[in-house]
Chain A
Amino acid sequence: MRKVFVIILLILVGYFLTNTFSLITFGENRIGNTSEEKNVAAYYLNNTKEKTSVANVVTAIVVNYRGFDTLGEVTVLFLATTGLGSILFRRKEDEDQIERISKPSSSLVQTGSRILFPLIALLGIYVFIHGHLTPGGGFQGGAIIATGFLLMLISYKNFKAGHTMLIWVESLAGITFVTIGLWGLLTSGSFLENTLPGGELNNLISGGIIPIIYIAVGFKVAAELTGVLDILLNIKPKK
C-alpha cells in the first residue's frame, strides 16, 4: 500500500516537473539584449576581458564576481571532512587494529599506479594552474589529484596519506583564500576585491588574485578529498 502511494506521488511530481521544464525551451539564447545596461550575463561577457584580464569568463565569475560563493563551497567541503572525521574518528587504543578495506592488488597494478600517480598529479596541477586560461580550475584539478591518491591507497595496503601534511595543506590553502579576501577589505574596502594588477590577457601570470585563489582552492580540494578517502578506506574490522 505504502509503495503504491509513493509511486503515485512520484509520478505526480514527475508530471508537474516535466510540465514546468517543457515551458523552458532548450538551447534558446537566454542572454537577451546585450546592450541593456542591467543584463547580468551580458555584463560578464562584455566586461570580463577589460576589467579582470581573465581569458576564461567562467573562472572570472566563479572566483571573482561570485568569489564569496566559492569560499562558501570550499568551506562546505572543509566542514564535510571535519564532520566525517568527528563521526568516524578512531580512538588511540584502536589505532593498531585499523585495516584498509581494499583487497591486496597484483604487482602489475602496483607498478602501473606508481607510474601513473605522478602523471595524474601533474595533470591536476596543470588544470588548476591554468584555471583562468583554459576550461577547468581549482575544484577539477583538486579532484584529479585526489583520484591519484585514491589509486595509491587502493593498490598499496601500507600507503599512508600523511595526516600532518594534509592538515597543513588544507589549513594554509584556506587561510590564503580568506587572507586575500581580508587584504582586499583592508586596502580597497571590499572583501575579496581584486587588488593586484591584471597583467596581460592570456598570460599565465594575469588576472591578479584570481589564479592565486584558484591554486589555493586546488590544493585545498585535493587535500580534503584525499582526507575523506583516507578516512573512508581505513576501518576497524568487525570481530
Chain B
Amino acid sequence: MVISPVHYIAVPLLAAFLIPLLSKFIHKELARIVPGIVFLYSIFISITLMLQIGDKGIISEVIAGWQAPWGINLVFSPFSGFLASLMSIIGFLIWLYSYNFKKIDKEQSQKYHILQMMMVTGAIGIVLTGDIFNLFVFMEITAITAYSLTSFYRERDGAEAGFKYLLIGSFASVLILLAIMILYTQLGTLNMAEIAQKSHLIPTSLKTTIIVLFLVGFGIEAEMFPLNGWAPDAYSQSPGPIGAAFAGIVVKAGVYALVRVIFTLFDIHGAYDFLIYGGLITMIIAETSALAQTNLKRMLAYSSIGQMGFVLMAFGIGTHQAIVGALFLMFNHAIIKSLLFMSGSYLTYNSLTKQISALSGLGKKLPLVSILFGIGAFAIVGLPPFSGFWSKLYVLSAAADKNMLLLIMTILAVSIVEIIYYFRVVSTLYYGKQNPEIEIQKPSINAMVSMIALGITILVVGVYPDVITNLLENAATALTDKATYIQSVLTQNLPIN
C-alpha cells in the first residue's frame, strides 16, 4: 500500500472502533497498547511523507475518488506536514507518559486512551484537510474529546471546568458553522483552494461578517483574549498529560485554522493588524495574570495563553522571517510546555491544591524531574542556549526590520515578567525549605523517558537550531504561497471522463 495522508486519519479511526472489542474479548491491556502503536505508525507516515515532498512539493489527496471541488481532499504541504508531524510526535510522547500514570489507571483508562488518541487525530485532521466543512468536523472531534478529558477525574472542579469549556466551545462551533454557511451561500463551494480563488467575489459586508465569525470562533480555540475564559480552568483541572496535549496539540490546531483563514482564504491586510493587536493584548494580560497565580498549573495555563498571543502577533507581522519565527515559537511551545506540564504534574502529584509552595525543596527529592522542569522554565523564557531563545530572536529581528519599536519593547517587558514568575518557581524548587509531610511520587520509567526525550530536544535545538530551521523555512514559504496551494489542489481538476 502506498503511504498517503489519509492514513493519519483512517488508521486511528479503525483502532478506535477496534479497541472496545479487543480489550473486552482478547486482553484488557490492548486498550492501552494499541494507541501507542498507532502513534508510532503516524510518526512513520510523517517521516515517509516529509521525505517524499522534499523541499517544495505538495501532496493533494482526493477522498472517495472525487476530485476537488466535488469531493474532499487532504493537503500535505511543508506547512501542514510540519504541524502534523509535530502533533504525531507530541501525541506519542503524551501516550508514553500517560501509560501507567497511576491517577488515570484508577479511572477508565481504556476510554482515556481512546479519547487521547482521537484528540490528536482530530487535530491532525484539522491541519491536513483542504475542505472547510471537513475542518469543522475535525474541530468537533477534537473539541468533544477535549471536553470529556477535562473532567476525566470526575471531581467537582473538573466537572465545572469541563462544563465551562463545553459551553464556550459549543458557542465557537456554532459561530464557525454559521460562517461556513454564509460562505457557502455566496460561493457554492466548500473547497478551501476554490474559496481562496473566488473570495474576492463576496460582497464586502458579508465578507466582514464571515471573517468576524471565523475570527471569534477559531479565536476561542486558539485562546485569544478575551475569548480564553475556558483555558485556565481546563488546563488546571484536566489530568497532567492532557494539559500537555492542550498546549502542544489542541491550541496549535486552533492557531492553524485561524492562520489558514486569514492567510489563505481571505488575504486581507486589516486582519494582520488584528492579529498583532489581539496577540499583544492577549500576551500582556495573560502574562501579568500568570504572575499573580499561586497554583502551578494555572500559572502554566496563563503562560500558555501568553505564548499563543505571542505566536499570533508574530503571524500578524506577516514577513517571511516573522512567520518562520511564529512557526518556531509553535514548535518550541509544543515541546517546552508539554515538558513543563509533564514534570509539573509529578512535582505536584500528591498536592490537592497544586500550590507553588507545595514544590518547596523538592529539588533534592526529585532531582531529575526538577532539572527537567528547570530546563523547560529556562527555555520558555528564552534564555540561551535553550531552544526558546532562537524563536524569540527570530520574531524580534523581524519586528526590528519593520521598525515596530513599541512591539519590541512590549515583548522584552513581558519576557521580564515571564522570567520573574518562572524563576520564582525554580527557586522555590531548589532553595525552599523541605516540607517533610509532602509525599512524593516517583515517575514511572516510561514517563521519565518521555520527559527526557523532550528535554534533550530542547537542548539539541537550542545548540543547533539548524536542525529545524530548514523545515520551518519551507513551511513558512508554503503558508504564504497561496498560488501554489490553489494550483496543486485544483490542477488535475478537469472532469474525469
Contact = CB atoms under 8 A, between A and B. Distances in A.
B24 interface: yes
Given A23-B205, A67-B63, A167-B24, A38 B69 contact: yes
B6 interface: yes
Interface in B413-453: none
Nearest to A32: B188
B133 A69 contact: yes
A171 B18 contact: yes
B10 A185 contact: yes
Contact of A167 (B1, B20, B61, B162): B20
A216 B107 CA distance: 31
Given A79-B141, A170-B20, A72 B125 contact: yes
Main secondary structure of the interface of B (DSSP, over half): helix
Contacts of B21: 167-168, 171-172
A194 B162 CA distance: 40
A40 interface: yes
Interface in A16-55: 16-17, 19-20, 23-24, 30-32, 37-41, 43-44
B14 A182 contact: yes
A78 B19 CA distance: 12
Given A40-B69, A64-B64, A72-B125, A178 B17 contact: yes
B495 A37 contact: yes
A82 B148 contact: yes
Nearest to A72: B137
B189 interface: yes
Contacts, number: 160
A72 B124 CA distance: 13
A188 B6 CA distance: 14
For chain B, the bracket of interface size reads 35 or more
By DSSP majority rule, is chain A's interface helix, strand, loop, or mixed?
A: helix
A71 B12 CA distance: 12
Interface residues of A, number: 59
A86 B64 contact: no
Interface in B126-145: 133-134, 137-138, 140-141, 144-145
A83 B122 CA distance: 15
Given A20-B206, A66-B72, A73-B137, A86 B66 contact: no
Contacts of B145: 79, 83
B118 interface: yes
Given A186-B1, A190-B65, A65 B71 contact: yes
A69 B137 contact: yes
A23 B61 CA distance: 36
Given A167-B21, A179-B14, A43 B1 contact: no
Contacts of B112: 86
B182 A24 contact: yes
A66 B190 CA distance: 11
Contact of B20 (A24, A68, A76, A171): A171
Nearest to B24: A167
A123 interface: no
A171 B152 contact: no
21 contacts: A20-B182, A31-B188, A68-B71, A69-B137, A71-B13, A72-B137, A73-B140, A78-B16, A83-B147, A85-B111, A86-B152, A87-B151, A87-B152, A87-B162, A89-B111, A167-B24, A170-B20, A175-B17, A178-B14, A179-B14, A188-B65
Interface of A: 16-17, 19-20, 23-24, 30-32, 37-41, 43-44, 64-69, 71-73, 75-76, 78-80, 82-87, 89, 164, 167-168, 170-172, 174-175, 178-179, 181-182, 184-186, 188-194
